[in-house]
Chains A and B, each alone.
Chain A
Amino acid sequence: MSSVIEQIEQQIANLQTKAVKSNTGKIVQVADGVAKVDGLSEVMYNEMIEFPGGAIGIALNLEEDEVGVVILGEANHLKQGDECKCTGQLLSVPVGKGLLGRVVNALGQPIDGKGAIESSDTYPVERIAPGVIARKSVDQPLMTGIKSVDSMIPIGRGQRELIIGDRGTGKTSIALDTIINQANINKVGLASGDENFRPVYSIYVAVGQKNSNVARTIGVLEEAGALEYTIIVSAPAADAAANQYIAPYAGAAMSEYFMHNGMDALIVYDDLSKHAAAYRQMSLILKRPSGREAYPGDVFYLHSRLLERSARVNEENGNGSVTALPIIETLAGDLAAYIPTNVISITDGQIFLETDLFNQGIRPAVSVGLSVSRVGSAAQIKATKQVAGKLKLELAQFRELAAFAQFGSDLDAKTKSQLDRGARIVELFKQPAFSPVSIELQVAILWGMQNNYYDAVDVSDIVAAAGSVGEFFTSRKESLLDSIRNKAKLDDTLNDELKKAFEEWKPTFSA
């Protein structure tokens, strides 16, 4: 009992002697989520500022006689003359596996009503991207589960692949398919007990979206069983511009935790057009000089410093990776607008989605000609290369020939066969949303195309045929799919087995 008394006495003694130093300032003006503060003589750029009532701000404008502080969250209770103080800390968010399956706001606070987050680690939201020495080349595939993407525009772990297109062309669907596919792969891999298996954890950052859209996304992921491998960072349109500005960086910090701890992460920024608009709003209120389309001069740096944080790092630096799928919304397919050109130049390739293709029923509406992956086949398994090596070229030639064929009716046999084959490939790549296809099944389906097994099928029945092949292989040829997955390349044995399987499938399919 006496030790308890001593402890309390010690606590009282500490209270009496401890002097705490703080650097303070007074609000001169507060409006639109930005406070101009007089004082704060020791403030640092990007430092967290504490306001009365627990509000937090970030010092973004350090001027000679005042500091521009952007307030995160509610600022209605703040008034002129209120005192604020420096915290000496950069804005940090909780990180770790405890966040998986949760929906958090831009500050990492839970908003899903599932209680507190079990996480003791925090990472600063702004961090310098790994340098060249810390990096490793991108040569491990990240399967999206979308046939057209995995075969023609392969994505590697650590790559930054932009998804770009007009509104309503299926940009978010591609990102969600990829997240769902990672969850599917994780479930199989973790169940197999393979020590070398590397799961991919996903982070979905929703910036400036409607709350209903975010709720729909959560519902899709939950239904597909992918939410348990996913963190959702939500800064909806109703949030302050500052929260929308900080959300992608908070998501990046959460993904870096996985990268630094020997794991792989996938991060989706949905979307960076709205992020740039939120930054423009903030910059204009901070009275920073504006440039093209009223964006501030450092809007390129805004996205380059964010996307540079996606990398694959070597063993000494964590042996993990962060793959980024930023999304950009274009207006009337204008790829040459300011933000789209910026982000195209930063990323390692883009998946361009066309409205015309979407309206023709070609979904996902991937434009083969304008889409590219600069990492390319280095991040593709050999089996996919074997069956899909020439598909992109064939499809591009088909598009060109199809355009010419519109003008004439007499076509030679070779052109006719090319057109016919192209039409079949286009049909084969059609895929419903939120139903990713495993890579081994993709290989099997594309092997059928390569070996002309769909030639007897009517073009309008190709989608049904591909579905039938999928069903046939998953229900009756599971061991063959396992062999393709484990070997990752097609040898003579597998080719023979695939041939046998397709011969077996052929009579079963009737359109």
Chain B
Amino acid sequence: MKQDKQIKEYAKKLLQISKDGETLSEEKVEAVLKSLEANPPRHYQAVLKAYLKLAEQDVARSTALVDYAGELSQAGLDAIQSNLSSEYGRSISVITREEPSLIAGVRVRVDCDVYESSIASSLASLESSL
């Protein structure tokens, strides 16, 4: 239990030094990995896994995954990006993915938050209210 806590603390420190301001820097991550490889800490694999998890969470916090069905204009994407950036107070990058199960509309995921405006979700809520 105590070991897990120490590994998490160490991974957190690694994440902190991998950041350039608020976002992760590719160069710094590369440097951290090289340094770890050269001087592997105790429980090297566990540390790397914890570091990966934290990095994934950090990336998810600054990335909006936009699932869509139907057409999605560039203007719409720009509007989503700017609105989310102002909402979260940090720069949010956008990744798009076509998702036919939505029938029509979009679903935007930023970290744990999901914004959905699609026919599929509306039908689901309509069904549950019946």
A interface, CB within 8 angstroms of B: 15-25, 39-42, 65, 85
Contacts and interface: CB of A to CB of B under 8 A. Distances in A.
Contacts of B125: 20
Nearest to B117: A19
Given A15-B119, A15-B122, A22 B105 contact: no
B114 interface: yes
5 contacts: A21-B115, A22-B113, A23-B113, A41-B111, A42-B112
Contacts of B113: 21-24, 41-42
Contact of A24 (B112, B119, B121): B112
Contacts of B112: 23-25, 39-42
A65 B11 CA distance: 13
B115 A19 contact: yes
Interface residues of B, number: 14
Nearest to A86: B112
A18 B114 contact: no
Contacts of A41: 111-113
Interface string B91-130: 0000000000000010001011111110101100100000
A393 B115 CA distance: 71
A41 B60 CA distance: 13
Contacts of B105: 16
A22 B119 contact: no
Nearest to A65: B8
B115 A18 contact: no
Contacts of A15: 119, 122
A20 B119 contact: no
B111 A18 contact: no
Q: Nearest 5 pairs between A and B by C-beta? A: A19-B117, A39-B112, A15-B122, A41-B112, A22-B114
B80 to A, nearest CB: 10
Nearest to A17: B117
Contacts of B109: 24
B116 A24 contact: no
Contacts of A39: 111-112
A40 B111 CA distance: 9
B121 A20 contact: yes
Given A23-B112, A42-B113, 12 more contacts: A15-B119, A17-B117, A18-B117, A20-B115, A20-B116, A20-B117, A21-B115, A22-B113, A24-B113, A24-B114, A25-B112, A65-B8
Chain A CB within 10 Å, residue with most, of B8, B109, B121: B121
Interface string B19-59: 00000000000000000000000000000000000000000
A21 B116 CA distance: 7
Nearest to B109: A24
Nearest to A15: B122
A23 B111 CA distance: 9
Nearest to B119: A15
Contacts of B117: 16-20
Contacts of A18: 117, 122
A38 to B, nearest CB: 9
Nearest to A26: B112
A289 to B, nearest CB: 11
Contacts of A42: 112-113
Contacts of A85: 114
Contacts of B8: 65
A21 to B, nearest CB: 5
Nearest to B122: A15
A20 B124 CA distance: 12
A18 B116 CA distance: 8
A41 B111 CA distance: 9
Most chain A CB neighbours (cut-off 10 Å) among B109, B112, B114? B112
A65 B115 CA distance: 22
A21 B122 contact: no
